[in-house]
Amino acid sequence: RARPTPMNPLRRRIRLEAAQLAGAYPGLRIADDDSWIIIPEFRLPAGWEPTRTTVLVVVPVTYPESAPDGFFLGSRLQRHDHSGLGGLGGLGGLVDPGHYFHGFNNPYADLGYVWYCLEDPYRRWNPRLDSLLTFVEAIRTYLGTAD
């Protein structure tokens, strides 16, 4: 009888973090090779239409030393225009959000995803303190304040 192959520490960490996220995001799926996680029905902050989407996070091969450098969102998202240019009192129509790249080299475009760049210009990622959990929380915070 063959013994199962032990999981290396990196895969164990990714699986543990995905399991912790699954508590808050039912339906979360992880690739068999731990290269991505999908969060369906991700509730977006106020100002987005529709109000929920799917989030796809690709785990970099250098994880956890490096954070993911962005994520993928459903391709039909828009934000309310608060610039004052699009309508009454700055609450105009819907616009494509910034940092939301339809034309980016996107291997998931055929699956309905668009790249959303989440930059960390100050290199605040700390592999001892940060995780996929803090990254997903950064997504929620960033989507609520960006643009």
Amino acid 13: pLDDT = 96
| Structure confidence by residue, pLDDT tens digits, 18-50 | 999 999 999 999 999 999 999 999 999 888 888
3-state secondary structure 69-86: CEEEEECCCEEECCCCCC
Global pTM reads 0.81
Q: At what angle do helices 9-24 and 132-145 cross, to 10 degrees?
A: 50
* Alpha helices (H) along the chain: 9-24, 132-145
| Structure confidence by residue, pLDDT tens digits, 86-109 | 444 444 564 555 556 666 678 888
Q: Rounded to an integer, what distance in angstroms lies between the CA atom of residue 25 and that of residue 121?
A: 28
Domains and CATH numbers, the chain: 9-145 (3.10.110)
| Structure confidence by residue, pLDDT tens digits, 57-78 | 999 999 999 999 889 988 778 7
